[in-house]
Amino acid sequence: MAKGTGSETIIAHGVRLEGDLVAEGDLIIEGEVHGNVKTQGDLRIGEQALVEADIEAGNALVSGTIHGNILVRGKLELLPSSSLTGDVTTEVFVVGPGACVNGMIRMGAEAVVVPKGKKRTESVEE
Amino acid sequence: MYCYVYDEALQDRRFERELAQIETRLTDLGIAGKIARLALFRDPNELIRDEIRSGVTTVVAVGNDTTLRRVLDAIGDRKTVVALLPIGPQGAMTELLGMPVGVAACDVLSARIIEELDLGEVNGKRFLQSVHIDHGDFVVHHGKAYTMTPQRKATVEVRNFASPDDAGMQSPVDGRLSFIIRLPRFSLFNKKVDIGIVPFSEMEIMYETNVTALVDGERLDGKQFVFRVIPRALRLVTGKSRKF
């Protein structure tokens, strides 16, 4: 069970979110998200989570299921229970044994640089 | 100029001695002031507003959380400083604000460490601590950005300031409220509660039927609850051991 520290956003197991989620701090997803996800902080996707969204995050640790493209500026780690269908762009990529990835992978410091004026995921700011 | 608003429960004889000690200490510290007593058929809003109109700049709720709540309801501006002087059985605010109970609070009051706290507002009603709604079927609208729905029975709390618990600690000086959803999950041998937390500045919760929300303990009925944070809306005297 996730426990809050006051600055993080937690989408609990049993909650369904539809739309564009922009978090200011760290983000933990244990439920369902359909739309776009964006955070400058760290992202953790729980084992029972289902994310059908384009994702942008600082670092990410994934145990659940993702359908969508993912851009991680730092380190993306897929744990053994995870499944990812979509393109991956990240600086450092760690894939655990049994993790499933279907999509194009771009890696390295140059890959995560977004050209000025161009957004990888369209999202609505708060 | 100080005004001390006494809770009606302080008319009980068991508080006589402690009140006398407090009044003496306040005089010693040079912060004695007018005394207004809350009573069953006396409108506290009118009472406190009259005092503010007559030049009072600091209103001290003498009692507990409920007394402070009644004082806050009456104060609409950001100029007046508010304080809690705790006497008798206490709620959460005493510890959160770092105010000792009884005569020791006079020295903390005299030190005047003033913090500017956020307030929450739901359907035009202000709250300092939190709003609880124990009803399952709802949809949360976070502006045009997203909607959120629970897929099983859940309870909702919108929090500005509360003691640390299973949902962590929320600060009353961060310019945001926290939407907290608790979803119990039962298995054969145990019960687990999933907790979701979403910080926000404006949010709307819609129910299909009329439900009752508890706004800092007071009932508010409705189908639609519109929340917003009012940053730095309240100037409150706090102690050094405050929890934020």
DSSP SS3 for B155? strand
pLDDT at A40: 92
CB neighbours (10 Å) of residue A100? 13
Pick from A16, A30, A126: CB nearest B194: A30
Answer whether B174 touches A (CB < 8 Å): yes
What is the residue-averaged pLDDT of chain B? Answer: 91
> For chain B, what percent of residues have pLDDT higher than 70?
99
- In chain A, positions 26-65, which contact chain B (CB-CB < 8 Å)? 30-32, 35
Span A34-45, pLDDT tens digits: 999 999 999 999
Span B84-141, pLDDT tens digits: 999 988 888 899 999 999 999 999 999 999 999 999 999 989 999 999 998 878 999 9
pLDDT at A111: 80
A35 and B146 in contact by Cβ < 8 A? yes
Q: Is the pLDDT of residue A118 over 70?
A: no
Which residues of chain A neighbour B138 with C-beta distances below 8 Å?
A: none
Span B35-46, pLDDT tens digits: 988 887 777 888
Beta bridge partners of B67: none
**Which value does ipTM take for this structure?**
0.85
Torsional sign, CA B1, B62, B115, B122 = negative
Cβ pair B44, B67 in contact under 8 A: no
- In chain A, positions 69-98, which contact chain B (CB-CB < 8 Å)? none
Q: Is the pLDDT of residue A4 over 50?
A: no
User: Chain A to chain B, count of Cβ pairs less than 8 Å apart?
Assistant: 97
Which residues of chain A neighbour B142 with C-beta distances below 8 Å?
A: 19, 126
Which residues of chain A neighbour B196 with C-beta distances below 8 Å?
A: 10-12, 15, 30-31
A1 and B152 in contact by Cβ < 8 A? no
Cβ pair B114, B240 in contact under 8 A: no
pLDDT at A114: 62
Answer whether A122 touches B (CB < 8 Å): no
Ramachandran angles phi, psi of B194, nearest 5°: -85, 135
Per-residue pLDDT averaged across A84-106, rounded? 96
Answer whether B243 touches A (CB < 8 Å): no
Span B57-91, pLDDT tens digits: 999 999 998 899 888 888 876 789 999 999 988 88
Q: How far from chain centre, in Å, is Cα B114?
A: 16
pLDDT at A55: 97
What is the residue-averaged pLDDT of chain A? Answer: 88
A10 and B193 in contact by Cβ < 8 A? no
pLDDT at A116: 57
What residue ranges define each of the domains in chain B, with the CATH number in brackets? 2-111 (3.40.50.10330), 121-230 (2.60.200.40)
Judged by average pLDDT, the poorest of A101-105, A121-125, B169-173 is A121-125
> Which band of pLDDT confidence, cut at 50, 70 and 90, is reported for residue B168?
confident
pLDDT at A124: 44
B149 and A11 in contact by Cβ < 8 A? no
Give me the amino acid identity at B55: G
Task: Indicate left, alpha or beta for B224 from its phi (over 0: left) and psi (-120 to 50: alpha).
Answer: beta
Higher pLDDT residue, A113 or A70? Answer: A70
Q: Is the pLDDT of residue A25 over 80?
A: yes
Q: Is the pLDDT of residue A126 over 50?
A: no
Q: How far from B22 is each of A54, A59, B15, B29, B34, CA to CA, in Å?
A: 61, 55, 11, 10, 14
Per-residue pLDDT averaged across A87-98, rounded? 96
